[in-house]
Amino acid sequence: MANSKSALKRVRVSSKKKLQNSSKRSSLRKTMKRANTVIENEEKDNEAILKAVKAVDQAVSNGIVHRNKGARDRSKLIKALYK
C-alpha cells in the first residue's frame, strides 16, 4: 500500500484513468466492429466508416492506442471506403 500522500493520490488518479481508458477502448472496438460489419456486408453506409475513422483519430490523440496502430486501422477503413 502507498505510504505518502502523493503516492495515495497517484493510486486514486491512476485507477480513475484506467477506468476511463478501458471505457474509451471498448467504445473504439465497438465502433470498429460496426464498421467492419458494414464492410463485410458490402453496405453503402459511409457514415459508419467515417465514424470509425474519427474514433481511431481521437483514440490516438488521447493515447488510448499507439499511433502506428491508429494509422494502420485508419488505412484499412479508408481503403475499404473507396473500394
> Residue 10 domain-assigned?
no
Instruction: Indicate if the pLDDT at residue 1 is higher than 80.
Output: no
> Residue 17 domain-assigned?
no
Instruction: Tell me the average pLDDT of the chain.
Output: 93
Rg of the chain, C-alpha, whole Å: 17
Number of domains in the chain: 1
> What is the reported pTM?
0.82
Q: What are the φ/ψ torsions at residue 13 (nearest 5 degrees)?
A: -65, -45
> Residue 12 domain-assigned?
no
User: For residue 74, what are the domain limits?
Assistant: 28-83
> Residue 82 domain-assigned?
yes
Tell me the C-alpha distance between 20 and 15, whole Å.
Answer: 9
The predicted-structure confidence for 56-78, as pLDDT tens digits, reads as follows: 999 999 999 999 999 999 999 99
| Burial grade of 49 (CB within 10 A; 0-12, 13-18, 19 or more) | buried
> Residue 60 domain-assigned?
yes
Residue 82, pLDDT score: 87
Instruction: Indicate if the pLDDT at residue 17 is higher than 80.
Output: yes
Helices (H), 1-83: 5-40, 46-62, 67-81
> Residue 48 domain-assigned?
yes
> Residue 35 domain-assigned?
yes
Average pLDDT over residues 46-57: 94
> Residue 3 domain-assigned?
no
